[in-house]
Amino acid sequence: MSAVTIIRSKTEQAILALFAKHKDQLQGQGSFGSQRAKAFASFEQTGLPHRRIEAWHYTDLRSLLREAPPLAAKPASHVVQRAAEKNWSTDQIDATRLMLVNGFYDESISSFTMPQGVKVTDVYKALSDPSSKNFHDHIGQATQSSDPLIELNTAFMNGGVVIEIASGTKLDKPLELRCLVEGIDPVSMHARILVIAGDDTEFTLIESHQGPDALSYQVNNVVELFLGNNAHVHHVRLNQSGNYAVDLSTLAAVVGAETSFNTFHMVNKPGIARHQVFVKMQGEGAHLSVNGVNMLNGTQHADTTLAIDHAAPACTSRELFKTILDAQATGVFQGKIMVKQIAQKTDGKMMSQAVLLSDDAKMNNKPELEIFADDVVCGHGATCGALDEDLLFYLMARGLPKAEAEALMLAAFAGEAIETVENEDLRAILEAVVGDWLGQRAHHVE
């Protein structure tokens, strides 16, 4: 047999060139340098994931990523200044704010003081500072799997933020992490966010993403969450990246005993999006709730991939995902519940529902169960279809124009998932985003 030649796509070649060019300039050359090299070697071996890889069957990055834009540089002061003036849909919320511009944490435009018990470290500095022990101890620990996005992030990571929350800290104001992309040239970003929370903590973390329209930039963020025992944590991710953006994100969490963790994410703008959620329930009696709404139009492609690992007894998990698809949009939902042998008394329930508003839209659902314990209650459901004609007729018979009747039904459809968000103000914001999206659509329909 002749030697195997790996055929690389143009984008893959560009990524290889990027790494060769930057690897000696990225922060943290010493011990972290070898971690980077290892991660990149692993990426080099697999290349960009494609449809023959089971976990990427419906989101073929090799064909979706047409280019590999240059890495974003630390923003200049005038860019930071412009960033400070942006409006955000979360402006009305009273929160402690942390600002990331092009993947780099900027203290000057973040909240002036941090609440007691909260410590923030810039990943850019921590990378080359061996005394940032918590950062070096935790990085890469929330996920064991060799995921190509995480590997790529580890290889290119140069910025981000570490948030440490001391045991017993209860925050009355949410923490908001604002990730802004600012500029006129396409760039790629690989920020890493670490949240290390001790026992008995209570907080809400908002992650907002915004970027310019008509600019084909790429984001590949990884958030690692370490939650201690008996904590109560809410996390909401609002993705309003630009309409040409490729937004890849991974949330990897380790959940302690008796801790409740609730995460919600909404996608309505980016051209291509994949949101991965990997949760390991490693303490007994933890409760997890993962929910989301994707509203897609045009040729958008959005993928939500979950892997929930029940590794301790008596944990519960609930997942509810709603997808609304119009025009030629493609939706993907892959959800996997794994129940280890030790995880007796597990209670898991997963639901994915999709509404297709156009004959050109596509929805791919893959809810999976992998169970090794015998005393568990686990279930999943998936539905897919058009709006109910009878209900539509009922509303129209009562005088509502078609577009409005549809909007009403769709708002209710998405609303079911939004209801899982506890914070009232956040819920209102999410509902407003849904309202705007439906409004634009109605305008379009008429």
Partner 1 sequence: MAAVQDTIDQVKAIDVDQYKYGFSTELEVDKAPIGLSEDIVRLISAKKNEPEWMLEWRLDAYRRWLTMREPEWARLDYPKIDFNEIYYYAAPKMNAAPQTLDDVDPAILETYKKLGIPLREQEILAGVQTSKVAVDAVFDSVSVATTFKAELAKAGVIFCSISEAMREHPDLVRKYLGTVVPVTDNYYATLNCAVFTDGSFVYIPKGVRCPMELSTYFRINERNTGQFERTLIIAEEGSYVSYLEGCTAPQRDENQLHAAVVELITHDDAEIKYSTVQNWYPGDKDGKGGIYNFVTKRGDCRGKNSKISWTQVETGSAITWKYPSCILRGEGSRGEFYSIAVSNGRQQVDSGTKMIHLGKNTTSRIISKGISAGHSQNTYRGQVSAHRKATNARNFTNCDSLLIGDQCGAHTVPYMEANNASAIFEHEATTSKISEDQMFYCQQRGLDAEEATALIVNGFVKDVLQQLPMEFAVEAQKLISISLEGSVG
Q: Are 97 and 110 in contact (CB under 8 A)?
A: yes
- Looking at the Cβ atoms of 249 and 365, the one nearer to partner 1 is 365
Q: Cβ of residue 430: shortest distance to partner 1, in angstroms?
A: 25
- Looking at the Cβ atoms of 74 and 362, the one nearer to partner 1 is 362
Q: Cβ of residue 55: shortest distance to partner 1, in angstroms?
A: 12
> For residues 306-365, which are near partner 1 according to CB under 8 A?
341, 344, 349, 354, 356-365
- Binding residue (CB under 8 A) for partner 1 from 298, 381, 401, 435: 381
- Binding residue (CB under 8 A) for partner 1 from 374, 390, 424, 446: 374
Q: Cβ of residue 44: shortest distance to partner 1, in angstroms?
A: 23
- Binding residue (CB under 8 A) for partner 1 from 45, 63, 145, 383: 383
Stretch that binds partner 1, among 163-171, 187-195, 265-273, 372-380 (CB under 8 A): 372-380
Residue 367 binds to partner 1 (criterion: CB under 8 A)? yes
Cα 318 to chain center, whole Å?
17
- Binding residue (CB under 8 A) for partner 1 from 17, 386, 412, 432: 386
Stretch that binds partner 1, among 100-108, 157-165, 272-280, 383-391 (CB under 8 A): 383-391
- Looking at the Cβ atoms of 46 and 341, the one nearer to partner 1 is 341
Q: Cβ of residue 386: shortest distance to partner 1, in angstroms?
A: 4
**How big is the site for partner 1, counted in residues (CB under 8 A)?**
36
Contacting residues toward partner 1, per CB under 8 A? 54, 341, 344, 349, 354, 356-386
